[in-house]
Amino acid sequence: MEVIRGDETADGAFETIYALMEKVGKVPVRVLKDVPGFLGNRLQHAMWREAVSLYDKKVASTEDIDKVVKYGFGARMPFIGTMETADLAGLVLTRDIHRYLFPYLESAVKPAPVLEDLVSEGATGVRAGWGFYEWTPGKIRQIIEQRDTVLLRILHEIIGGVKRG
């Protein structure tokens, strides 16, 4: 739950809302500046931009891009965040990788051509029954049930671990 501080948000109001979110069982985070997309959307769309770019450039299939996320770093993310990972790897190594890799990362300021093409063809994802994947009602139901089951287990483990710790 992102608690966003606006330019005119009083400190007391900001902290009161944060405390209320904790009290009702949420895991709040403090967003100290009101920026477009806040935290979650910005991080998610930065990854999506790179994933779509890799697919558009035919570096990998949609399935393989998703496997890297699901079974690679994504599997660790419920338990260790990006900043913790950087510290564990070491900031010298992290900096050196950034120096090498950043020039190769997607920095487009517009959606990838493949995304524009799919949308113009009516491939808008689940609602249309196709996008990067083909979607049937059964497949949609199955993936949502799997996602929700796993997320609930992870949240139970994380929140339970926080309360015990």
Each residue's pLDDT tens digit, 104-149: 999 999 999 999 999 999 999 999 999 999 999 999 999 999 999 9
Each residue's pLDDT tens digit, 65-89: 999 999 999 888 888 999 999 999 9
Sketch the domain layout of the chain as residue ranges. 1-37, 39-110
Each residue's pLDDT tens digit, 50-64: 999 999 999 999 999
Using DSSP, state whether 74 is helix, strand or coil.
Answer: helix
> How far is 30 from 92, CA to CA, in rounded Å?
27
Residue 160 has pLDDT above 80, yes or no: no
Residue 67 vs residues 23, 64, 103, 127: alpha-carbon distances, Å: 36, 5, 24, 23
User: Could you tell me if 33 and 5 are in contact, meaning their C-beta atoms sit under 8 angstroms apart?
Assistant: yes
> How far is 108 from 59, CA to CA, in rounded Å?
17
Judge: domain 39-110, CATH 1.10.1040.10.
yes
Using DSSP, state whether 109 is helix, strand or coil.
Answer: coil
Selection from 111, 125, 95 nearest residue 50 by Cα: 111
